[in-house]
Structure 1
């Protein structure tokens, strides 16, 4: 039996953002229709460890059924060392025999598919005329979210703010040659958000970095940095003022500190979650209903998204003769 090995660089070539947005839309539709299955992720978080490990299994039913398993380590201090905070692998298995088909770099898949899902949400929820982007954070997800936002809206300018201004400057200078609109580093989050109709929070913050008074009417927010019940990027007032959409309700009510802490404070009720993105795609639930509404997509990342990306990559690699095939 041969298995396919795909590296970070190979995945970046085989999974362009524009293609991945379409793959993620189909994945979320399939999940909403009950054709894909996943449990809550299992997280190993020892008190003395520098990071955590999460196990994220998923299954796709149908004629070409498949299993996937992402094993991901999250080390928040890695960016200061010049490394991605997310390290791990995505394994793909045949749904009929259980044989392993592929082992892929999880850092690349996570970086691209997370931003692609935000792209799906933004295309559904943001105003059609949204053209000013604010990105909070200057790491891997900031880069991929810039690409995703540029795929789904005609951007006129982008501003980047980070905990360290030099990091924001470095990101803006690095990515500017790839875009026709200006990308500017600013010193404060408030300055970045001023007049922004599209907002991405991609930080490792444990406390809110975004305040309600900084958010313009009609803005759309993609909140992707916080992933545990005790951490959040978005303040309670913004959560309460927003129409809240999620990738999956079960994940949000168990893992989304942005939602759970506002709930604990009594600012919102359990019914505050408007819909899953898949429900909006199916037309079962409404998205934005007026130009001045603030919409907020809380992303936690789903194992079904990793499985969908891995399947796409597997078929692309076979078609294009990419990757390395090894006896297993």
Structure 2
């Protein structure tokens, strides 16, 4: 029997989905469900294509009570900008959780991934950053650096912003863009240590395989969200920092052990504390969060299939007339 499938392009998705508190709340609900332990989420299927400086991740999850689940294919080919092409692209496929039939295909070129990833950063900041953030900092200068700061500003409206990148010209451009977007005093700095020293909230958005933040830079009233390490071998935070901070939190412990900051800490035998809490457990109140304003906290975001199912399901409810319906 034929059934309808909605096909929606990136341009159409951009008209109905923006980075706002609604999306932040949707992603927070996904974390809360993960924290309850009832989500069905298999390990990430990850493939590295070293010859092309590329990688492909496939993520999925079923959240109990949801009518649908998403499978997301996310290629990242990091030499693409030299060809005038974006580094990230991909798509999400939404399936019925009752019949397994395809309900929608979102040809988003990574747009929905960008939205849910930035929203996850806002969720981490909402639950772990100091209540008062005057200065925020970002390490990295790409799309996610901009989006992470826009998302953080929704929940911790900082007044100053510091930007560091390996390419000073790109850092200047990123700072200028964010100054205009957020109406804050934003400037590029030449030293990552300066960013950390002056900030109460720092987000790392790099593909680094050697740390860009050192353990000795940690200071009271600091929260760091690390979202760049999403594949084995990536490492943005000095492994010693995980043990030194007051609270280290994972989006998914299982994922962070193999593709997050925890991977390096375990490999260097620098993690001897009990299993770290997950962000969803802190949201649900089943694990302790920030102990006080002076605490130092780190949140490790590897990106979860639950986030993809949550945002794809949300999109389906708000599409209206967007997209094309085909019979299959």
The TM-score by the shorter chain falls in which range? over 0.9
Query: How far, CA to CA, are the matches of 2:89 and 2:180 in structure 1?
Result: 28
Corresponding position: 1:44 with 2:29: no
1:192 Cα offset (Å): 2.2
| Aligned position for 1:183 | 186
| Distance of 1:111 and 1:82 partners within structure 2 | 19
- Report how far residue 81 of structure 1 moved: 4.9
Q: So what's the TM-score if we normalise by structure 2?
A: 0.92
Which of these residues, 163, 172, 176, is aligned with residue 173 of structure 1?
176
The equivalent of 1:219 in structure 2 is 222
**Cα distance in 2 between the residues matched to 1:160 and 1:70:** 30
Cα distance in structure 2, aligned partners of 1:134 and 1:292: 18
Which residue number in structure 2 is paired with residue 246 of structure 1? 250
Change (3 A) 1:77 1:115: same
Of 133-142 and 246-255, deviating more is 246-255
Retained in 2: the 8 A contact 1:195–1:216?
no
Rounded Cα–Cα distance in structure 1 between residues aligned with 2:23 and 2:282? 19
* C-alpha distance in structure 1 between counterparts of 2:136 and 2:325, whole Å: 41
Q: Partner of 2:110: helix, strand, or coil?
A: helix
Query: Which residue of 77, 99, 118 corresponds with 1:75?
Result: 77
| Structure 1 residue 161, shift from structure 2 partner | 0.8
- 1:261 aligned partner: 264
* More displaced stretch, 222-231 vs 201-210: 222-231
d(CA) in 1 for partners of 2:295 and 2:249?
13
In the other structure, the counterpart of 2:133 is: 130
Contact 1:137 1:160 in 2 (8 A): yes
> How many pairs were matched up?
323
- Aligned pairs (5 A) from 1:60-99: 60-62=63-65, 64-79=66-81, 81=83, 83-99=85-101
Q: Cα deviations across residues 214-245 of structure 1 (Å, max 9, x unaligned)? A: 33322000100112232200012322212110
Deviation, structure 1 residue 80? 5.1
Which residue number in structure 2 is paired with residue 302 of structure 1?
A: 304
After superposition, give the CA deviation of every residue in 1:281-326 in whole Å (9 maximum; x if it has no partner): 11110111022221000000001100110010111103xx223333
1:287 and 2:282 matched = no
Query: What is the DSSP-based 3-state SS (H/G/I as helix, E as strand, rest coil) of the residue aligned with 1:159?
Result: strand
- Note the alpha carbon deviations across 1:264-295, whole angstroms, 9 max, x for none: 22322152x43101111111101110222210
CA contact (8 A) 1:221 1:297 kept: yes
- 1:164 and 2:167 aligned: yes
Q: Are the counterparts in 2 of residues 59 and 65 from structure 1 also a CA contact under 8 Å?
A: no
Distance of aligned partners of 1:84 and 1:216 in 2 relative to their CA distance in 1, 3 Å threshold? farther
Gaps of 5+ in 2: none
Q: Please state how far the C-alpha of 1:13 moved relative to its aligned partner.
A: 3.4
Q: Secondary structure at the match of 2:89?
A: strand
Distance 1:65 1:221, change over 3 A: same
Q: 1:48 deviation in Å?
A: 3.5
**TM-score, normalized by length of structure 1?**
0.92
Tell me the distance in 2 between the aligned counterparts of 1:233 and 1:208: 4
SS of the aligned residue for 2:57 comes to strand
Cα RMSD between the aligned structures?
1.8
3-state DSSP class of the match of 2:319?
helix
Task: Verify: 1:144 aligned to 2:147, yes or no.
Answer: yes
